[in-house]
Structure 1
């Protein structure tokens, strides 16, 4: 069975973005950018990959991405309708009725059922849960791993990792690495 992995950036107080949704609050790390380009190239948008010299990089962890409408919106604002063309793309949205691109499938119904369908497929690569908090909350019980880039930033308020009522998720540490700007990249597996 394929895994659903929530791969996200967060402040040390647990927010994935500022209250207005701005995710540009995290300091850039050349060391982490090089690491991500080599180890997680598929998590970098297709239109950014040529600037990093990885336009033809093979997918290492994921062949499918699922994101919420608010996560998809910044790409649409710059006329990028297929931001992750190197993967299958799903956007969970109740408001988008039609996809602006044939390579992007809109999931307006039961997103949990869609994820279970994708997880049941054959394949070695996983499903990248890109965000946001509402979608992560809906898919909380389906998440198999968390890959968290924790930046040395305190936001005080913002969009949390999960928008949902209380419920403990027990995790097991898989790996932990500190980068030059204080970013701590931690991977966890869900204890089932």
Structure 2
């Protein structure tokens, strides 16, 4: 059984973006130490252009072979001219408004995302599934998330787009597995779901 990992950046108070979803204030923390770590340990989470820029275009995927994202997250790539922003992964976009895929590598799922994710998790293979965002997709898949990798940036938003948007209140316990701090104040925490 493969795992679904929500690998996400957020503010100290748990927001992945401002009320409109903009997280560009976090870009200031993309320094050499931190980006070097991500490129070495999670190369598949850098988009195709980022991988080229860092000279790791052909680096093997270490953790994930599939990415799931919502239309809003996917729109960022489209707006930058990247119809397949993570071409080194199988790309799945959850959208009720985007009916046809703009690229052969991108699968659009317009209904029953949970069933699609369960089928992905049941596949054989050594690599997992990366839930990239956004908030609504994460809220829909909250019961399917096996691991959290939270990249906490040293900022407080006060309000904005929550990590799990639209999810009903329910306490779900996760166990801290590891943590790493960086000189820029970013902390990455790894959690596994308590089953």
Q: Which ranges of 4 or more aligned residues in structure 1 deviate by more than 3 Å?
A: none
The one of 98, 101, 108 aligned to 1:99: 101
Give the alignment's Cα RMSD to 1 decimal: 0.7
Normalising by structure 2, we get a TM-score of 0.97
Distance 1:177 1:116 in 2: 30
The offset of 1:29, in angstroms, is 2.7
Q: Say yes or no: does 1:151 pair with 2:153.
A: yes
| Matched position secondary structure for 1:83 | coil
Contact 1:29 1:180 in 2 (8 A): no
Show the 5 A alignment for 1:35-184. Answer: 35-163=37-165, 164-184=167-187
Deviations 1:28-61 (A, max 9, x none): 2321101100000000001111111111110000
Segments of 5+ residues of structure 2 without an aligned counterpart are none
| Matched position secondary structure for 1:25 | helix
The offset of 1:100, in angstroms, is 0.5
Deviations 1:144-175 (A, max 9, x none): 00000001001111100001121111001111
The offset of 1:178, in angstroms, is 0.4
The one of 183, 189, 192 aligned to 1:189: 192
Segments of 5+ residues of structure 1 without an aligned counterpart are none
